[in-house]
Amino acid sequence: MKECDSKRILVTGGAGFLGSHLCESLLAQGHEVLCVDNFYTGSKRNIAHLLAEPRFELLRHDVAFPLYVEVDEIYNLACPASPVHYQNDPVQTIKTSVHGALNMLGLAKRLKAPVLQASTSEVYGDPQVHPQKEDYWGHVNPIGQRACYDEGKRCAETLFMDYRRQHRLNVKIARIFNTYGPRMHPNDGRVVSNFIMQALAGQPLTVYGDGSQTRSFCYVDDMIAAFDRLMRTPDGFGGPVNLGNPVEHTMLELAERIIALSRSRSAIVFKPLPSDDPARRRPDIALARAVLQWEPKVGLDEGLECTIDYFRQFVKEGDALAIPPATQERSLHAQAK
């Protein structure tokens, strides 16, 4: 990349799972990266290898408060993303989604910079249509335990679209479906990390309900490639656009695959299904294929093997199972998805 093509790019939630991979990708492209995180669930461990890079800057900050910086592009990834974390402080989760969106939109408006919002498949709630397309409005419980995240992200999408209509702001909305890979928090309560940690520790894998509920799993490298393509789309396209893997798997199938790939002897135990847990979740990615020329390339077994290798370090260190959920490196509030 020519020096004149290099941009200064802000990544909020940059020390989180997706954020750290995005920072790494942007640096590899020759850009300067300003990583903002308050380490509520993000971790310095995720970006430690980037700290010596002269084009990388780390700022500890909560996006629920205004931020005054000079950048060319903004990726807004800051928000706790797993039920264990976002339900730990639901009011702060809503503040992060809504106030964070307002602050990043205000910054983008002042700078005339494109801004990408990391939204979520949770805006569809427990969907009554399958697979989910972008024109589906969703089936969300606005007063349930998951609403702090679901409704916070839905409100953020509203704000992004209103800034687009009212201020002609160049916004991009990515509806992210289940994504996994190295740097996931070992105790984030998500199914992939739960199953892997249980399998590596020789503990029973906890399957809720009868295990017939489905999810679609996208490897992190594929998701980061989609972010890049979405940000590069013309100003006339802002989304929302579904980003995820359209291949559907049951929870029981996932548990059995992880046991086999990790060479574990763990058993599978069944527990009652949590409230408002979607029965089926699979993206329709026709829009992403048509507009972004993107679809996932990494197969589930290949991605799981890389993720299992990453998680082995925590079992060897013996520290992951002792980390209380949502308290590792706690600071003010908010984190990367």
Active site residues: 149
Per-residue HEC secondary structure of 10-57 comes to EEECCCCHHHHHHHHHHHHCCCEEEEEECCCCCCHHHHHHHCCCCCEE
Residue with token string 């059995």: 256
Give the span between the Cα atoms of 334 and 144, in whole angstroms.
20
Q: What is the DSSP string of 205-270?
A: EEEETTS--EEE-EEHHHHHHHHHHHHTS-TT----EEES---EEEHHHHHHHHHHHTT----EEE
Give the span between the Cα atoms of 52 and 230, in whole angstroms.
29
Phi and psi based region of residue 234 (left: phi greater than 0; alpha: psi -120 to 50; beta: remaining): beta
Q: Are 220 and 182 contacting, i.e. CB atoms less than 8 angstroms apart? A: yes
